[in-house]
């Protein structure tokens, strides 16, 4: 018997229902350091606020706190901040 048989579809709001596999994918992308919230939105349609809410609801409180501490202010989780930071590094590396 698979664990997904024990977990019903996850109700997020009146509009959205996630299967176990979709929820797993979203949580996995949220944990990944190099996947931005914008990429998560493009691939799944889930906003940053919704990702945070899903993480809070579906992982252990200590794990959520650890994850939030990691991603809060992390440049790589926000595309604009990450791209501007990479641009700064590339410009600096070409200066003599």
| Helix, coil or strand: residue 18 | strand
Residue 80's H or E segment, with its range, is helix 79-93
Q: Which two tokens stand for residue 57?
A: 């609801």
Evaluate if residue 93 carries a pLDDT over 70. Answer: no
Q: Where are the domains of the chain?
A: 8-93
**What is the pTM for the complete model shown?**
0.66
Digit-coded pLDDT (tens) for 34-83: 899 999 999 999 999 999 999 999 999 999 999 999 888 777 776 665 56
pLDDT band at 85 (very low <50, low <70, confident <90, very high): low
């Amino acid at each position: 018997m698979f664990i997904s048989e024990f977990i019903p579809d996850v109700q997020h709001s009146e509009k959205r229902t996630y299967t176990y596999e979709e929820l797993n994918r979203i949580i996995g992308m949220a944990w990944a350091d190099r996947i931005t919230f914008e990429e998560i939105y493009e691939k799944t349609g889930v906003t940053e606020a919704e990702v945070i809410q899903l993480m809070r609801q579906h992982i252990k409180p200590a794990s959520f706190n650890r994850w939030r501490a990691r991603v809060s202010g992390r440049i790589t989780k926000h595309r604009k901040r990450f791209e501007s930071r990479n641009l700064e590094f590339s410009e600096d590396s070409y200066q003599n």
